[in-house]
Amino acid sequence: MPENESVGSSISVQRGVWADLPPDVAIMLAPPVTVTARPAERPVNPYRTAQLGRSRGNMPGARHLTHAG
């Protein structure tokens, strides 16, 4: 998704622990960190949803098929 289409982003950081290291070694290392990011969704206005539904009322739901020949 291009940046100009994104409303914002949601960034999440999870701090982990070293499970397979001895405590005296693990204390010298930074904890494992997992960072995730995704575009934030824009809340949908119920009025706008109904307005779009009414405007699509006179349009076909499927694409028009063209007949060759």
Give pLDDT tens digits for 2-43: 444 545 677 888 888 888 888 888 888 888 899 988 877 777
Mean local confidence (pLDDT), 61-68: 58
Is 0.75 topped by the overall pTM? no
35 or 66, which is more confident = 35
Domain boundaries of the chain, sorted by first residue:
3-55
Give dist(CA 40, CA 18) in Å, integer.
Answer: 31
Give pLDDT tens digits for 45-63: 888 877 777 777 665 555 5
Q: In degrees rounded to 5, what are phi and psi of residue 4?
A: -70, -15
Q: In this predicted structure, what is the pLDDT of residue 1? A: 46
